Amino acid sequence: MRQIFEGDVHDIVVMENGVCFVFTAEKEQETAKVEFKMISFETGKMSRVTKNVYFLAKFGTRYKTIMQHCSNFAEARVLNLPQDRIFILDNLDGNAVLLDSFGLPLWMSQISYKGTPPNDIAFVQDSLWACFKEHNAIIKFNLSNMREELRIGGGKGSPFKAPIKLTATENGLTVLGAADKRLVGINLKDYSVTEMYTFSEPVKKYLKAGDFEFVITQSGLYLI
């Protein structure tokens, strides 16, 4: 694992031919100034970009509409669904909204498990999946009524230790655990769990972009 940026990194997203990340540039008492950089896969160079480049990469062309439903743009989770719909989760309180192709709300509510909002969400095989750090659980929800359909973990024998991030893959999901510093894969055909990586320090986010894999830790941004 090689460090490519040292500092307080908050988020990283895929963009065309590269990635874009958000980091703290200056911090004074309780306020912090964030800035944005991109890494080009073609040249390998890192350069500063405007916040609109990041917003466009993370939220798409309708980012102004989406951001009206986000209290924290770096922590918000946005999924592009079939029929040009958009699902938005505000991770600070669990508020969620489903927007139609015109940006109008089709559904607004809260997602929770035992009174706790999810830490992350992913869309796989026409279903919404969410992870809950406090309960060591991954839960599948029916998008039509937001009812729980399936739960993996959640008990003493859970294969996850404080899951905080989900990533959709071709066959299922990857799950990042904060407590055991592991990244595991779930095959949704048979629900088998396979360990992929174990890290030396807590990881805040994992991202796969093309042939490259990135992780954010407390010390910065790394390339696996």
pLDDT digits (tens, 9 = 90+) for 133-187: 999 999 999 887 888 999 998 877 888 889 999 999 888 999 999 888 999 999 9
Residues 203-224, mean pLDDT to the nearest whole number: 93
pLDDT in tens, 90-111: 866 788 999 998 889 998 888 8
Q: d(Cα 180, Cα 200) in Å, to the nearest integer?
A: 10
Q: Which domain holds residue 54?
A: 2-223
- Please state the domain count of the chain: 1
Q: d(Cα 103, Cα 140) in Å, to the nearest integer?
A: 25
Assess whether pLDDT exceeds 80 at residue 21. Answer: yes
Distance of CA 27 to the CA centre of its chain: 24
Residue 112's contacts (CB-CB under 8 Å, 6 or more residues apart) are 94, 118
Residues 187-202, mean pLDDT to the nearest whole number: 91
pLDDT of residue 92: 64
CATH code for position 106: 2.130.10.10
Three-class SS state of 145: coil
- For residue 69, name the pLDDT band (cuts at 50, 70, 90): confident
pTM of the predicted model as reported, rounded to 2 decimal places: 0.88
pLDDT of residue 94: 82
Q: Positive or negative, the Cα torsion across 32, 49, 91, 207?
A: negative
